Structure 1
């Protein structure tokens, strides 16, 4: 009898710097994303496995971040290993979200080859929200400046009182002369 176990699809994930899964979550320019690919050998025999993962658009590969002897060339990380039957092999690498990447979506998918089947992983996506326009500074409401000197108002009031007093004095003097 031939044993044809159903191949298990390799699993792709993306995590932030603290190790939290962020697949489907928004990221921003400058963020470091770590991609993981896990392959489980369900073929029933040892296999020479190759995992290839293209660096996603809008990101830059972080130098020397590929583990397990992953080699970065021409925008792609490639790993090869003999994986024992039943063994799970996980590989990782990091990218940095490019500056000025706004309103885009970062997508990533890897491909595994075990000598019999080439299988794509599930895709990962991370939206980068649009750049928010800078908020103009709010100017504090300042009271209107006084247009006259308060001392000037007092001078006018005093002058008016003086003129009124002078007018009364002249009137009285006129009455007295009559």
Structure 2
């Protein structure tokens, strides 16, 4: 299937459909395939297209920006199941490492990828949701690493700025997000 294209010049958004292990991912993507990858995981309700402004800004800054429509929540869609499925999506794209951006309920999925597949994560950006593992994960982590907070790859918290990702304040959010992604991407090469 030919991907759909929307936009102009280097900031073109491509609509891609990818099947991975029987699951169909609908994806908004911008940027060249050989550039460092940034995967933006939306919250509920939302779509990968919700990050259209940020996808274009990241592509213009030299990144491959990927906004998948995240799987539903509840039932079989635990943070762990969705995180593992997201890693299989990275495999399908041939991406070894990526900066992950999680907004709202997409944040737990991204930090779960960072906890379970840390070598795959070049950096982690959480929008509107602070890192807060479930109590069982905190107890397990303390038993393995001591009493400190989990040692994730580079981590940045934008706080309330994530809520603007779905509004038309694109210029402000684009600049803030590109700066944070650049910072976490270079903190742990």
TM range (shorter): under 0.3
Q: Structure 1 length normalisation: TM-score? A: 0.21
Q: Larger relative contact order (C-alpha < 8 A, sep ≥ 6)?
A: 1
Q: Structure 2 length normalisation: TM-score? A: 0.21
More strand by share: 1
More helix by share: 2
